[in-house]
Structure formats: structure tokens, C-alpha cells
Amino acid sequence: MLKEHLRLLYFNLFVTLITMSSTQLIAQSYYVLTGANNGWQSYNGNYYKESYQILSRPVYKHATNTYYLYFDLTFSAIWLIDNDTNGSTTAFYKWSNNDYPPVGKYEIDFAYDSNEPTLAKVLNAQITFTDGSSFTPNISKGSANQILGRFQLSGDETGALLTAASIKINGTRSGLSNLKLWESADAVFNSVSDTQLGSTIAIDPGDGHSVGYSGFSSSITTSGIYYFLTADMATEASGIMQSIIVNNTNLGITSGSLSGVIDNAPLANGDVSLPVSLISFSANINGNFIVLQWITGSETDNLGFILERAEGNSAWQSIASYQTHPALKGRGNASTFTTYTLFDNDVTAGTQYRYRLSDVTASGALTLHSPVSITMTALPNTTELLTAYPNPFNPVTNIHYKLAGETAVTIIIYDMLGRVVKTLLDQHQAAGEYDLVWNGRQDAGGQVSSGTYLIRMQSQLGTRTQKILLLQ
């Protein structure tokens, strides 16, 4: 009679009939038993005998005796014997005649100095993985929880859990933060109703590195669960990225196993592009037209820009695009600053205009940027050099002036001895209002000393002079 407590690890039951002379061990904790009778197999019409070895260790060894397992269909029992013959036996587990346990994985606990052992089924759902190759994310910069990719898991039975995930992110990019993994019951992501899994990864790990999530339990259903990877996008975010699951080991699954092989599975349909990093977008009045100017810090796969305009609260209308205006064509891929300029001369004094810019990738993806607005002022009926502000100043002062008509104009800074200090403007300009800035530096670039200086505006419409004081 055994006095020690034994815990038999696991054995796995299959229906397929195989040769009885061998038993396949698929892992340290599993025993494979296959055959007829719903997965149980008799041996010589009576029982199936096999020494249970795991890495050359028997199930249980006491003194010099090695114990073996017998699966006996005649007596509807599992036996444990103390030698490899029909020697003395001890009933290990019994069931009602022909009421065989169903196919599955089982854990057997038994102790021969206590109650009858138990046979408990262990879940082993077969999990199907579906990548995100059919999914195309739509990224909005300057927004939180933007989708980088997704995948789906479904089981042939319920009970399996996803408990960890590691996702590799390839591609050179900037402006990403707060990467999160979410669980969703459907294919549409919703940050309000969906559940975040694990902790937020605050810092983007960079090209070719992975984000890892753990410490959660997500139930895998037979209908399937979707998992979304998201990140917060800065307004100036740029670059490209591709999220992948490298292999099966990147997903931690309990009470189940993946039915296929994962090999660098993509979570999106191609690379996710952040096409343009827009540094600035401005609208300024220049005479009787409005100057639109924008600066990009970098461009990725950029075909060009579309410019829309709306008068007041009216609907947006396209007024220019990269297809009709060569100046709006993008640079494709660029990592340096680029300045774009467009003049809108179809404007009316006293009207407010809103302008909206969007960029277009080679794949046709369109990204909208925040609009700017400006009110077109009426043309001045006098030529004036308005009071500079601030005055006194340090280190810069703003110079505002009006031209009643089209003219050649110069604006020059002089010292009190009449010497030229800085030429701020020397060009032909249309009627309108204009602004200049003087930073207290000479034409040669050096900083001038404290003191009084003269601003002189000279044009065909007259000459205007004003004193300014620099205090350091």
C-alpha cells in the first residue's frame, strides 16, 4: 500500500489510433494516450500498460520499485502497479462500465492513504490567430488612442485566456507615446467601451523594438476577441511603422494553445504612415491679397497638399491642390524643413476667411490639419508709418505701416548721426497694411548699443519718420 502522496502530472487524450508499442511525450507535463473507445485503448483485449516516463524519470519511484500505469477497459479502471508485469495492483481511478472520460486533457490527484483519487479535466482549447493584414488604420495626429494595428483570437471552446502579448514595432517615426493594448468584442475600436489590458507603455521603444503587456486575463471566446494596439499621436508626429507579432511565443495563452504557426504576422494592411509633420500654417494679409504659408518638419510618402477655403461659416471649398498647382506638390520623403507658399487674391475687404490644409499619401490616405482664419481688411486710403511697439523696446520692436497705393518703398533704421544701421525693406509693394520687426541688429549682424534711433519710410507716396528708443 503506497503511503506517499502522488500527483500525476497530465496526460492528453486523442481519438486517432496509433501503434500500441510506443507512447509520444509532447511536453514534460503531458502523456499522450490515443486509440478507440472515445480515446481509451485496451491492451491484449484487457488493459494498456505503459511505463510513464518524463525526461527519463518515472511517475513515481519508491526505494527500488518503479510504478507503472495500466488502462483497463475490462474492469473500467486505471491501475497503478509496482512492476512491469501483471503483479500486485492498486486501483488508481475507476469509472462506471463503458462511461469513459471524454477526450481532453486531465489532471489526476491521488493519495493511497486517503480518499479515492479524482480525475479533473484541464481545458485545452485550440486557438485560431487572425492577423491584421485586412485592416487599414486611419491615423489622426494630435489625438489620443490612435490605432496602429489589431489581431483576433478565437477558440474551439471557451475557457482559454490571453495573459500576455509582445508586439514588435518596425519603422522610423517620432511623436508616439502611451502605447496601449485593448480588448474588444467586435472589430470596431472604442476607447470608452473597450477594456485596456496591462499597463500603458509611456515611451515609444523605437524602431525594431517591442512593447510587452502582461498582468491581465482576457477570456478568448468561440466567436472571437479583437485586440487593438494604440498610441497617442503628437501634432508633429511623423514617420512610418509596422506592428507585428513575431511568433507563437509572443502570445501568452493558458488553458489553450495556438493551432497554427505565427511568422512575423502584420497587424495592419502595410505600413502605417504619418505622412507630414506640419510645423506651422499661417495666413497673413499682404496688400490686397492673403498669403498662405506652411512649413513641414518632415514628409513621408507625401504626394502633396489640398487647400480649402470657407467664407465665414459657409461650407469648405477646394481652391488649390497638388494636381493643379505645382507649388503644392509634396517632396515624397524628406527629413528637412520645407516651406510652401500660396497667394489668394480672390478676396474681399471686410470678409472673414478660413483656410484648411490636408496632405495626401501615394496610397490616397488624406490627413486634415487644423484650420486658420483671417479677416481681410479694407485697403488704406492714407500712407502712414504707425507707432512702433513696444517703444522703448528690448530686444525687438514691431513696425506697422500702410500704403494707400502701389509703390516702391524702403524702410531703413538710422542712428542719430544719420548713418545707416539696418535696411529693413527695399521693394515694390501693393496697397495695404504691413508689419516688420527689428531685432536691434545692424546689417552686419552685430547688436547695436542702447540709444535713440530713427525709422524712415520712404516711397513715391511720401516720407515718414519716427523715433524709437532701445534700452538694454
State how far the Cα of 335 lies from the Cα of 35, in Å rounded to an integer. 65
Torsion of CA 442, 444, 446, 451, to 10 degrees: -20
Assess whether 148 and 77 both reside in one domain: no
Q: Which residues contact residue 152 at a Cβ distance below 8 angstroms, ignoring those fewer than 6 apart?
A: 129, 130, 187, 224, 225, 226, 227
Which contacts qualify for 32-38: CB closer than 8 Å, 24 or more apart? 33/71, 37/73, 37/100, 38/100, 38/102, 38/103
Assess whether 132 and 264 both reside in one domain: yes
Assess whether 169 and 109 both reside in one domain: no
Choose the final residue of a domain: 236, 259, 274: 274
Q: How many CB atoms lie within 10 A of CB 467?
A: 11
Whether 253 and 122 have beta carbons less than 8 Å apart is answered as no
Assess whether 14 and 75 both reside in one domain: yes
State how far the Cα of 371 lies from the Cα of 358, in Å rounded to an integer. 10
| Half-sphere exposure (Cβ direction) of 411: Cα atoms closer than 13 Å | 22
CATH number at residue 318: 2.60.40.10
Domain count, the chain: 4
Assess whether 145 and 266 both reside in one domain: yes
State how far the Cα of 431 lies from the Cα of 381, in Å rounded to an integer. 9
Burial class (CB in 10 A: 0-12, 13-18, 19+), 202: exposed
pLDDT score at 330: 92
Give, in order, the Cα–Cα distances in Å from 288 to each of 23, 409, 430, 432, 433: 91, 16, 7, 6, 9
Choose the final residue of a domain: 356, 375, 394: 375
pLDDT in tens, the chain (472 residues): 322 322 332 333 222 222 222 222 222 222 323 223 333 333 333 333 333 322 222 333 333 444 444 444 444 455 544 444 444 444 444 444 455 444 444 444 433 333 344 444 455 788 999 999 999 888 877 889 999 999 999 998 888 899 999 999 998 888 899 999 999 999 999 999 999 999 999 999 999 999 999 999 999 999 999 999 999 998 777 777 899 999 999 999 988 889 999 999 999 987 776 667 788 899 988 777 899 999 887 787 889 999 999 998 899 999 999 999 999 999 888 767 889 999 998 988 889 999 999 999 887 888 888 899 999 887 788 999 999 999 999 989 999 999 988 899 999 999 999 999 999 999 999 888 888 999 999 999 999 999 999 999 999 999 999 999 999 8
pLDDT score at 273: 67
Assess whether 337 and 365 both reside in one domain: yes
Assess whether 11 and 109 both reside in one domain: yes
* Nearest partner of 292 among 328, 323, 322, judged by Cα: 328
Assess whether 92 and 148 both reside in one domain: no
Assess whether 118 and 17 both reside in one domain: yes
Assess whether 132 and 240 both reside in one domain: yes
Assess whether 146 and 233 both reside in one domain: yes
User: Which domain range does residue 77 map to?
Assistant: 5-122
Assess whether 150 and 266 both reside in one domain: yes
* Nearest partner of 70 among 54, 53, 93, judged by Cα: 93
Choose the final residue of a domain: 274, 308, 328: 274
